[in-house]
Amino acid sequence: MILQTALLIGLVIFSVLAIVLKDLLKSAISLAGASLLLGIIFFRMNAPYAGVFEISVVAGLITVLFILTIALTKSGDEVRESKLVNWAFPLVFVAFLVIDALVMKGLLGKVPALASGPEAGTFGEVLWRGRTLDLVGQIAVILAGVFAVLALFRKRDKHD
């Protein structure tokens, strides 16, 4: 439990660093670190498949995509951020954490318990039989993403 709490605190710290840091490359690497910690948390919650996806796809592939974009838009990191946001961010965030600690337990008590029996079978059975339509949706989303990227990077025709 202590280790899990330490991992969760590390996850929040890395995520906040990813937003606050000025250097985009450091931000992307912080986001990858947060994904790595989230993957370890998933493993410790008996969810190894979600952990593997989180580490390989989110910490790996998405970080590569971010770094590639940062490399292709080199002078883009000269965007001037608002100074008000720079000092207001930590204050508002700490205030939210205090409110979160005070209110969340009471809110959770009011969540109605849904009737759901314990799961039976392996993860494969739950994924392929219980969530079949999700998988069809995933295929559609991947195809949509591929076609969107192709459309955005297509070469200009002579008529354009």
Partner 1 sequence: MTNTWYLYVFFAAALVFAGLLGLLGKRNLIKLFIAIGVIGKGVSLLLLATGFAKANIMTAQALVITYIVIEVSLVATALALIINIYRHTRSLDVRDLAKLKG
Judged by CB under 8 A, the residue of 3, 6, 50, 112 near partner 1 is: 50
Q: What is the contact mask toward partner 1 in residues 83 to 112, using x (rule: CB under 8 A)? A: --x--xx--xx--xx--xx--xx--x----
Judged by CB under 8 A, the residue of 2, 3, 6, 145 near partner 1 is: 145
Judged by CB under 8 A, the residue of 79, 112, 158, 159 near partner 1 is: 79
Judged by CB under 8 A, the residue of 2, 3, 12, 157 near partner 1 is: 12
Any idea which residue has 């990858």 for tokens? 32
Position 45 contacts partner 1 (CB under 8 A)? yes
Provide the token pair at 6: 């330490």
Position 40 contacts partner 1 (CB under 8 A)? no
Rounded Cα gap, residues 151 and 155, in angstroms: 9
Q: Where on the phi/psi map is residue 115: left (φ > 0), alpha (ψ -120 to 50), or beta?
A: beta
Q: Which residues does 58 contact at the CB level (< 8 Å), separation at least 6?
A: 35, 38, 39
Residue 13 contacts residue 31 (beta carbons within 8 Å) = no
Nearest approach, Cβ of residue 159 and partner 1 (Å): 18
Could you give the dihedral angle defined by the CA atoms of residues 135, 32, 45 and 51, in that order, rounded to the nearest 10 degrees?
Answer: 40
Q: Taking CB under 8 A as the criterion, which residues in 115-144 touch partner 1?
A: 116, 118-119, 121-123, 126-127, 130-131, 134, 137-138, 141-142, 144
